[in-house]
Amino acid sequence: MTQLKNKHFVLGLTGGIACYKAAELCRALMKDGASVQVVMSEGATQFITPVTMQALSGRPVFLSQWDARESNNMAHINLTREADAILIAPASAEFVAKLLHGRADDLLSLMCLARPIDKVPLIVAPAMNKEMWGNPATQRNMVQLKHDGAHVLDVGAGDQACGEVGDGRMLEPEQILEALKAHFTEKLLEGRRVLITAGPTYEAIDPVRGITNLSSGKMGFALARACSRAGAQVTLISGPVSLETPVGVERIGVISAQQMYEATQERVQNADIFIAAAAVADWRVHLAGEQKIKKGKDRTVPQLELVENPDILKTVASSPRALTQELYCVGFAAESENLEELATAKRVSKGVPLLIANVGPQTFGLDENALLLVDESGTRELPWASKDALSDELVKEIATRISRA
């Protein structure tokens, strides 16, 4: 499943060093199942060749309104009528000003002006020097462009080709791809506030050793992306994982189960949906060593006293807001055997309306998963698929169940 499969994009490039990112973006769109027609301004050809973009898109690149391939000399009409969206990436300051004033002195600007506004959205990914971006004229243009109905993406911050550092960089291709997916996703969770826990926890034995598990956090992060795309305001409480924070998601980093418990308790009162996808350690060392525990001369094995960690899901599910269905709780279970039996029992013991289970050792660290949905009426399988695709399905499940409540 992908939001971009069979979508057709007109990808417009304007003059700027960020054109090199457009090549990767084009490839990513194609990989995600979309088709791409590239249109370049004269300035863009100074930074990347039409041959490169043709090779990546599999289609001839258009540069001029008078392209001989269009017998009616109406490329600005013909190209837009098949498009699901026009994406300008990179969009220079000059081109943004041109859009704002309805100027149409080349094919790309003509095309934007002539598109059917109610059918073909215009999505703009700005890219420019930090001073150009911060200039009051540019900021006024951006505000008016949004008011006129264009979807203006954020800019990134960091090193710029001119040697300066600051805001104005075009977003990375994967960030733009995520924004496009969000644009074409039905807003099933519009206005909802979602709190998600993800990843493992780490329980210190001493300053250099600890107890943890093999959870990668990928399922929880995929759920955060899916909920955000569906219009929710998402807060993600994550254990120690090396994953990028999903676009538009607030991330709270924690290490131990106690820290995750405290972060959850602090934020769950403002949530409408709580999804406990983290693999929380059941136990921690009662008294962790302040210094590294050394091997004794007699090689004596240290005896560790373990105590139980707080049960985050059970605590939240038994709260007054959850019991009155003001807060909808979803639990996760990673088992190694007897999946249906153990997951069914866990759903009852945790007191949640929906529990999602999988065989942990088969899926930890992978980009794919297979899930078992368990509720009061029984079980249903979601077959092996990408964690992103499964997350989209879970969002639909949760939205449907909430609407029935």
Pairing type for strands 8-13 and 35-40 reads parallel
Number of Cβ within 10 Å of residue 267's Cβ equals 16
Cα separations in angstroms, 76 against 26, 50, 82, 267: 20, 18, 11, 50
Q: Dig out the tokens for 160 from the structure.
A: 């710029």
CB-count exposure of residue 403 (10 Å: 0-12, 13-18, 19+): exposed
CA distance 192 to 209: 40
Q: Are 11 and 37 in contact (CB under 8 A)?
A: yes
Pairing type for strands 368-375 and 354-359 reads antiparallel
Nearest to 225 by CA among 263, 266, 185, 255: 185
Q: Are 133 and 178 in contact (CB under 8 A)?
A: no
- One DSSP character per residue, 222-259 reads HHHHHHHHTT-EEEEEE-S---PPPTT-EEEE--SHHH
Among 19, 112, 162, 227, which one carries the catalytic annotation?
162
Interior angle at CA 172, CA 168 and CA 173, nearest 5: 135
Question: φ, ψ for residue 63 (rounded to 5)?
Answer: -120, -30
- Please indicate whether residue 162 is annotated as part of the active site: yes
Q: List, by residue number, the catalytic residues.
A: 162
